[in-house]
Amino acid sequence: MINKQTLITKLQNKTAIIGVIGLGYVGLPLSLRFAEGGYKVIGFDIAPGKTRQLNNGKSYIRHFEDEKVQSAIKAGFEASTDFSRITQADALIICVPTPLKDNREPDISFVTDTVDSLLPHLRKGQVVSLESTTYPGTTEEELRPRIESTSLQVGEDIFLVFSPEREDPGNPDFTTRTIPKVVGGSSADCLEVGEALYNRVIDQVVPVSTTQVAEMTKLLENIHRAVNIGLVNEMKLVADKMNIDIYEVIDAAATKPFGYVPYYPGPGLGGHCLPIDPFYLTWKARQYGVDTHFIELAGEVNRSMPGYVVGKVVEALESQGKSLDGSEVLMLGIAYKPNVDDMRESPSVEIMEQLRVRGAKVSYADPWVPVFPKMRMYEFELESTAITEQSLANFDCVVIGTNHDDFDYPMIARHAKTVVDSRGVFRQRQAHIFPA
């Protein structure tokens, strides 16, 4: 088919224009990678402040330096809020959020609304790739009918693929280029085009037979982590009751050269994937009459961890003869993982909320998040507190929620009245440090 061959040729010789819809933690690094790989890239986003900042050569994600954006601009990258320019792009890659509703059911409205906004501008000879994590069947059940409502035939006029994002923000060992890329197509021709889209900028492309396989692959990856983290979090609860150091146990178990992979406990799950993705599968599984008890149990354990940490704060304050109500508590780190500014689903924020509801006066310190951002579920009008010997003396308890490298932990241990450590920073037991 001429449309397919023409498109593949353009992708291979890098004359194709790449359109990335959604310039967040997935879309921005993908845009920069395509630009670095020699393509002209148009990044689309509905936030004019974000596109303006990028076009001025400024990154709004801290672990992406301004220089990377500036290099991409020199290579032909630009950001736009004008969706009528969709027709200029040969490839359209959708990187928008897929959160949960309040009832923990999938909310794919960002995906469907985005596709609906693309429909008036679609044309023959384009490839559409969905990267947003979702339940198996989304591409075929939601995207394909919408696209074909325009009289464009998927697999002949236009090509549809699913290729799950695998970004790990702030991880220096793996980049967009080096992380293998799974791709599934709505047809064999769609898959061929999808491989051509990615194989010039990603070191290894992994083709699979269908979009549903690609969708399920991403869910399995994250459910694997969520379940194992839930297991080790539950082990931490048991070890705490038995006065056993769970980190010493994990380190000892990790010496086994086969059959064991170490996972580490924490205050709960954060980020856009692990707290959310398992429930995309459990919801879809129910439509097939399958109850995913194991996955849901792990989710319950992980969701309970912020409350466990709050209980440790109460214990730490009682050791000083104080109650939680009215006490000054400092949350150390509010990003969902170390050394990033990503706040999505951060368990530290849930801990802050529970502390506030119970009467504590809550502050936070996070060099990666100088001002508490607007969030969908939480509102704190706070700025990051400077950590000094003097400021630590003002707090009745310090809670380590995110173990950023920037913190001076020995100084904190010396000058904090009590510390609740949910990240295993302090391996040596001390009377005023409470592992959580």
User: pLDDT (tens digit, 9 = 90+) per residue, 420-435?
Assistant: 999 999 987 788 899 8
Number of H helices, E strands in the chain: 15, 13
Q: Which pLDDT value is given to residue 427?
A: 83
Q: Which pLDDT value is given to residue 176?
A: 93
208: pLDDT confidence band, cut at 50, 70 and 90? very high
Tokens matching residue 398: 């310090």
HSE-CB of 311 using CA atoms within 13 angstroms: 9
Could you tell me the strand order of the sheet in which 419-421 lies? 361-365, 328-332, 397-400, 419-421, 433-435
Q: Which pLDDT value is given to residue 239?
A: 96
- Catalytic residue (choose from 95, 190, 273, 397): 273
Radius of gyration of the chain (CA): 24
What is the Cα–Cα distance from 44 to 32, expressed in whole angstroms? 13
- Average confidence score pLDDT of the chain: 94
Q: What is the mean pLDDT of residues 406-414?
A: 95
Neighbours of 350 (CB within 10 A): 23
Helix (H, G, I), strand (E, B) or coil at 248: helix
The model's pLDDT over 53-95, given as tens digits with 9 standing for 90+, comes to 999 999 988 888 899 999 999 999 999 999 999 999 999 999 9
Q: CA angle, 415 as apex, 333 and 384 as ends, to 5°?
A: 30
Say yes or no to pLDDT of 110 above 80. Answer: yes
Q: What is the mean pLDDT of residues 342-346?
A: 92
CA distances from 32 to 41, 298, 358, 400 (A): 8, 36, 45, 34
Say yes or no to pLDDT of 1 above 60. Answer: no
Contact status, residue 129 vs residue 159, Cβ threshold 8 Å: no
Contact status, residue 414 vs residue 428, Cβ threshold 8 Å: no
The model's pLDDT over 139-181, given as tens digits with 9 standing for 90+, comes to 999 999 999 999 999 999 999 999 999 988 878 889 999 999 9
Q: Which CATH superfamily is domain 2-209 in?
A: NAD(P)-binding Rossmann-like Domain (3.40.50.720)
Say yes or no to pLDDT of 136 above 70. Answer: yes
* Bridge partners (DSSP) listed for residue 42: 19, 78
Say yes or no to pLDDT of 374 above 90. Answer: no
Estimate to the nearest angstrom the gap between the alpha carbon of 140 and the chain centroid: 24
108: pLDDT confidence band, cut at 50, 70 and 90? very high
CATH of 247-435, one of 3.40.50.720, 3.30.380.10, 1.20.1290.10, 3.30.70.360: 3.40.50.720
Q: Which pLDDT value is given to residue 53?
A: 96
Q: What is the mean pLDDT of residues 307-331?
A: 96
Say yes or no to pLDDT of 214 above 70. Answer: yes
What is the Cα–Cα distance from 110 to 112, expressed in whole angstroms? 6
Contact status, residue 134 vs residue 164, Cβ threshold 8 Å: no
Q: Where in the chain is the domain with CATH 3.40.50.720?
A: 2-209, 247-435
Say yes or no to pLDDT of 199 above 80. Answer: yes
Has 273 been annotated as catalytic?
yes
2: pLDDT confidence band, cut at 50, 70 and 90? low
Do strands 158-162 and 181-185 pair parallel, antiparallel, or not at all (unpaired)?
A: antiparallel
- In terms of Cα–Cα distance, which of 207, 211, 208 is closest to 196? 207
Q: Which pLDDT value is given to residue 267?
A: 96
Share of the chain above pLDDT 90, in %: 89
Say yes or no to pLDDT of 182 above 60. Answer: yes
The answer for residues whose C-beta is within 8 angstroms of residue 324's C-beta and 6 or more apart is 310, 313, 314, 317, 355, 358, 359, 360
